[in-house]
Amino acid sequence: MKKIMFALSIMLMLAACAPAQLAAPTPYPTYTPYPTYTPYPTYTVEPSPTVAKPTDTPAPTANVLEVIAVSKNNVETIEKSGVVIELARALVSDREGFPDDWVDDDPEFDVAKTLIMFQFKVTNNTDGTISTLLMHHCNILVSGEQIDCNKLPYYSYGGEDIGTIMKGVTRQGFFYVPANTPRSDISTITIEFPGAFNSRGNGFTGDFTFTFDITDWVWTPRP
């Protein structure tokens, strides 16, 4: 009996001295791999369509006067006592459709049926300075209608001043006059004005008169 008890004691002692059994390690969680990266599709830039710009073709500038007016160059030349006066150009136009805006600013021009332009070239072949009054003191007869130049506004004149011309000089000037006679009813036009004066104020040429018929005229451009 003592032997049995002794043997149990030895077994208990051995059991007490035996190392404690370690707990099983906790396994790491299962690794879930990231999804495979799918690259975006390559972006192909579509070429921009090439649009050819249309060639800028300027619109032709229509000369309205070719339709509504008649004109003539070198109408007539008169020489007196060394003074040469040439009616270098005359133009007769319908008022309706006239392209210059200034005619709208004067009542007489605005209500006129016809506009008439006179361009004079004056050459002084005398020995001194001369004066002329043709642009401001002329009288015009348009198929029975009389027009006085001294009533014209200043903006109806253009070109050079042909009021005073020195020896050996040629100058050109022009002016417009309004007429109440329709262009279709005009046949002859007459313009008359005082002659030239010398430096002492004495007239020495007599009056100048130009008469012309426009019945067969057409549009003629400037030379």
Torsion of CA 116, 117, 123, 126, to 10 degrees: 40
pLDDT of residue 11: 61
* 75-128 per-position pLDDT tens digit: 999 999 999 999 999 999 999 999 988 888 888 898 999 999 999 999 999 999
Percentage above 70 pLDDT, the chain: 72
| Lowest-pLDDT choice from 55-64, 74-83, 110-119, 187-196 | 55-64
Q: From residue 175, how far is each of 7, 9, 142, 210 by CA, in Å?
A: 157, 154, 16, 15
| Lowest-pLDDT choice from 48-52, 103-107, 164-168, 175-179 | 48-52
Instruction: Answer whether residue 19 shows pLDDT above 80.
Output: no
Would you list the DSSP string of 158-206?
EES--SEE-TT-EEEEEEEEEESS-GGG--EEEEEE---B-TTS-B-S-
pLDDT of residue 4: 54
Coil, strand or helix at 102: helix
pTM above 0.75, yes or no: no
